[in-house]
Chains A and B, each alone.
Chain A
Amino acid sequence: MPGPYRETDLTEKVEAFLSDLKRGGSGTGPLRGSAETARETTALLRRITAQVRWSSAGDLMEVIRKEGRRMSAAQPSETTVGNMIRRVLKIIREEYARSRGSSEEADQQESLHKLLTSGGLSEENFRQYFTALKANVIEAINELLTELEGTTDNIAMQALEHIHSNEVIMTIGRSRTVEAFLKDAARKRKFHVIVAECAPFCQGHEMATSLSKDGIETTVITDAAIFAVMSRVNKVIIGTQTVLANGGLRAVNGTHTLALAAKHHSTPLIVCAPMFKLSPQFPNEEDTFHKFVSPHEVLPFTEGEILSKVNVHCPVFDYVPPELITLFISNIGGHAPSYIYRLMSELYHPEDHEL
């Protein structure tokens, strides 16, 4: 019978995705970029919408929230999973509101007037049944997928507006978005790129070889030389793992130092981040903000005599406050860090911030 088979097939896929997430985070499994994770999450959510039995929007949202909690718990540092789930929840709310006939704008705005007249709580409980809701939701998720596929190209298209010729650009580590950005600009302009290698994993080496193969003049420097060469740098362009709700970044370690050095020399710091990296988290949660990996790259086991007497730390991420950032470039254009809160309210519904 098709029904149960489909259910087990779905659960298999979900379990496979969860285990992939768990393994990918420790650095031993297959490494995947955030764009891939976002796409896979959305595809999985579309599958859940299509295959799981649900009668009203509220049911669907419950199911997605449950699965979403499991997926975020598998790899808390991979915030794109949570972001995509919140996007889909917002899509469901919108489609529901559209089917009901009420305008989306009125429902979204929590104006003071509305709070007073409606008696505080929203009476919406998403229990009404609409036949076309499933098709609409799936169509909207497809649109989201198309948007996700085009993010890197959209960002790269803006490159020529920001890079002039004979510039010296600095970057750190490896970001596929920044790589595409620089390669696109290199088709028309000549400039020099300095890559900080970002120990201990040295992703910067891969970035440098890739850029130089495309004809860009590249130099690899160590992390210690960031401040020393900063005085000759015209722009700093970096990628990030997450954009936080206050406009700050959770980026690869060493980025805070880079941002401070850029601020000291008044060099603009440009962050290339697609919209799916925007997360409604704030950086205050100390215990969930940092992620640590095995320090065997920092102090290898060959140093056995001192290893047992020493604490070794290997954090993966850094917090960069929004005051150090000049510009965000995303697939919908450029924004200042102070505008990020507004973008967030367009993408996510405030009630979904806590899954």
Chain B
Amino acid sequence: TACCFFSYYFKEPSFISYVIEGKELTKEEKQRLRKEKKQQKKGKEKKDASLPQVSVAETAAPASQLKAERRARQEAERTSKQSKKGDTGQPATTIVKRLPEHIQVDDPDVLKKLAKKLERQQIPRRLDYGYKVSLFSHLLQYSRKAPLTQQLSIPSAVIHPAIVRLGLQYSQGIVAGSNARSIALLHAFKQVISDYTTPSNEELSRDLVNKLKPYISFLNQCRPLSASMGNAIKYIKKEISNIPSQFKEDDAKKKLLNCIECFIEEKIVLAAKAIAKSSIEKINDGDVILVYGCSSLVNHILCEAFEKGRKFRVIVVDSRPRLEGREALRRLVQKGISCTYVLISAVSYILPEVSKVFLGAHALLANGYVMSRVGTSQIALVAKAFNVPVLVCCETYKFCERVQTDSFVSNELDDPDDLIVTRKGETQLKDWQQVPRLGLLNLVYDVTPPDFVDLVITDLGMIPCTSVPVVLRVKNVDLL
């Protein structure tokens, strides 16, 4: 029946914008298209009656009765949702979240739905590249040499040019690191908002959110969104939908731009200052501090401590293929801090000299696990074996409600060609695609169990890893 198709459209609380060849369709045309598609689907489903029916209300009752029942149910759901928004003190009922599509690549139904959504939003789809290791067949693997922007027309009528530029910067790795990505995203959104004009008969609060949806899909296709970006987008969407309808357009836009500025200022810049202030108490004279990769927060902390006159030296640990540690090394050496540089395989050699380990985080999960650059869990493991304290520095806006226990289920696969290297004039893996059973794995993130981490320094203070869900709860209550 068509009920599943119908309810798919009704899930979106507001109107869907169709855009064909840069022109907006009128409402009548939209409805006509919708009806046509529905008829097509009905005809197709009648033909293959052997397909399992997805809908729940599958009885022999006539179709019109089912429709009425369904509409009544949906109205009831909508009103209950509205009333729920009013209650603040109630415990959260079970929210069945939709799994993100980028970790369900092995499910053909999900891929079909994603393709339909992207077609509707007129965003090209990025294809998988190369042989994927079987353990990770549920994740996407892209090649850096084929960015999504190559498939867009110039000028793109659907996507704002600031977003196109941002997507390219993400996919090529020019903007990397969760703070940098979030700030770049927010700046791009500021540009989008200031260039936005409300079309007639539309409300700013609803239309702007719909305008942002294809941009977010596009950025997701360029590179899967990070937890910090997800939280920032949630915040913006909430701010936009809370704009009262009587605001004039200019006032609304000014308010939104102000909100974004506040977010960046509070959650990122001031948080970094607060974290630096508390971390300096943990850095003593004569310390040997180990850092891994390039975390903007950890670099900030070390530079602040050095300016305040603490005497310490830093060991920067780096890993292939990203070699982000070199960037951190440059920044620290510029400040005048004495540094040592090793690769991650030499960590057991260098760790007996180390007194503390400072690590940055990409996100802190609700079960206390720390999601960070791949290799972080290894450093924490070896530090634990040598009894060296491990401190993780993370702002609260990176806390996320997901739970994860291993690095397989939800991860990102980077371009496998990055692993190819020339040593002594020979490139062993040059033709790895031709060799039938050879796979290259370039993971981006891994999760560190909470028993390896001794302390988490956040802008709310120094907490143990297991207190992350408490902070999340406090934050949610504050927001509402």
Q: Please give the residue numbers on chain A whose beta carbons come within 8 Å of chain B beta carbons, in ascending order.
A: 197-202, 205-206, 208-209, 212-213, 215-229, 231-232, 253-254, 256-257, 260-261, 264, 290, 297-299, 303, 305-306, 309-315, 318-319
Contacts and interface: CB of A to CB of B under 8 A. Distances in A.
A222 B346 contact: no
B306 interface: no
A229 B343 contact: no
Contact of A222 (B320, B340, B377, B407): B320
A199 B343 contact: yes
Given A199-B320, A209-B438, A313-B349, A261 B378 contact: yes
A312 B339 CA distance: 9
Contact of B345 (A231, A257, A261): A257
Contacts of B438: 208-209, 212, 218-220
Contacts of A297: 423
B439 interface: yes
Interface string B436-464: 11111111001100000000000000000
Given A222-B419, A228-B374, A260 B345 contact: no
A309 B333 contact: yes
B263 interface: no
Interface in B364-418: 373-375, 377-378, 381-382, 385, 406-408
Contacts, number: 165
A298 B320 contact: no
B38 interface: no
B35 interface: no
B347 A222 contact: no
Q: Which of A215, A218, A224 has the most CB of B within 10 A?
A: A224
B349 A311 contact: no
B474 interface: no
B419 A290 contact: no
Interface of B: 133, 135, 319-321, 326, 329-330, 333, 338-350, 373-375, 377-378, 381-382, 385, 406-408, 419, 421, 423, 428-429, 432, 435-443, 446-447
A310 B349 CA distance: 17
Contacts of B374: 222, 224-225, 228
Nearest to A309: B333
A247 B439 CA distance: 34
Closest 10 CB pairs of A and B: A224-B375, A254-B345, A205-B428, A256-B348, A224-B319, A228-B446, A212-B438, A228-B407, A227-B378, A311-B340
A312 B382 contact: no
A218 B345 contact: no
Nearest to A261: B381
A297 B437 CA distance: 29
B428 A206 contact: yes
Contacts of B439: 217-220
A209 B428 contact: yes
Contacts of B381: 227, 257, 260-261, 264
Contacts of A318: 345, 348-349
A226 B373 CA distance: 13
Contacts of B442: 222
A220 B440 contact: yes
Nearest to A27: B424
Contacts of B341: 298-299, 310-313
A229 B407 contact: yes
A298 to B, nearest CB: 6
Contacts of B329: 306, 310
Contact of A213 (B326, B419, B435, B443): B435
A209 B338 CA distance: 40
Given A225-B374, A256-B382, A306-B333, 8 more contacts: A208-B438, A220-B438, A222-B442, A224-B378, A228-B377, A257-B347, A309-B338, A313-B342
Q: Which of A206, A213, A225 has the most CB of B within 10 A?
A: A225
B86 to A, nearest CB: 44
A254 B320 CA distance: 13
Contacts of B441: 219-222, 225, 229
A232 B408 contact: yes
B146 to A, nearest CB: 22
A287 to B, nearest CB: 14
A257 B343 contact: no
Q: Which of B377, B385, B437 has the most CB of A within 10 A?
A: B437
Contacts of B339: 309-311
Contacts of A290: 349
A212 to B, nearest CB: 4
Contacts of B435: 209, 212-213
B346 A253 contact: yes
B436 A212 contact: yes
Q: Which of A197, A199, A298 has the most CB of B within 10 A?
A: A199
A231 to B, nearest CB: 5
B446 A253 contact: no
A231 B374 CA distance: 14
Contact of B135 (A216, A223, A232): A232
Nearest to B376: A224
B382 A257 contact: yes
A110 B125 CA distance: 77
Contacts of A312: 340-342
A313 B320 CA distance: 16
A299 B345 contact: no
A230 to B, nearest CB: 9
Nearest to A298: B343
Contact of A197 (B133, B320, B436, B437): B320
Contacts of A225: 374-375, 441, 443, 446
A297 B343 CA distance: 10
A220 B345 contact: no
Nearest to B331: A306
A227 to B, nearest CB: 4
Contacts of A219: 133, 438-441
B163 to A, nearest CB: 32
B443 A299 contact: no
14 contacts: A199-B344, A206-B428, A208-B428, A213-B435, A219-B133, A222-B319, A222-B320, A228-B447, A229-B407, A256-B382, A260-B381, A310-B341, A312-B342, A315-B349
B340 A227 contact: no
